[in-house]
Amino acid sequence: MAQMSDYLESKLIDHVFRNTGFATPGVIHVALYSTDPTDADIGTELEAGTSPGYARQTVSIGPDTNGVALNNVEILFPAATGDWVAITHIGIRDESSGGNLLMHKILGTPVSVLNTNNFRIPIGDLELTFA
């Protein structure tokens, strides 16, 4: 992922430099966005009303190699039950709904998901790093 959110940056600074505990999320989720979520978490996430069938998906992350961790299972979103708005960004969140944005990244090209199609992230294509 390209950027950490303000929330995660603050938690890591407090944890590393101020000896403040940070409860890591038990499960992380991928969210899809039609606008940049920004570090401040103000983007527009897809929702069932404008993207029928959309729901955040869980992520399984393998061990890191030289500070980079990758998804070790394909991330498959449910089949669209209508055309979705164009996806421009992805985000990593700590809850299946609501919660906190942890990281975000722009897609190289916006993706349109049409009725009955799925959005997928193949194994190894979701890169998580603090660099």
Backbone angles phi, psi at 55, to 5 degrees: -155, 145
Tens-digit pLDDT profile for residues 1-54: 569 999 999 999 999 999 898 888 989 999 999 999 999 999 999 998 889 999
Q: Is the pLDDT of residue 79 over 70?
A: yes
Q: What is the pLDDT of residue 130?
A: 84
Q: What value does the mean pLDDT of the chain take?
A: 94
Q: What is the pLDDT of residue 49?
A: 84
Q: For the whole model, what pTM was predicted?
A: 0.93
Average pLDDT, stretch 112-119? 96
What is the separation of C-alpha 2 from the centre of its chain, rounded to a whole number of angstroms? Answer: 11
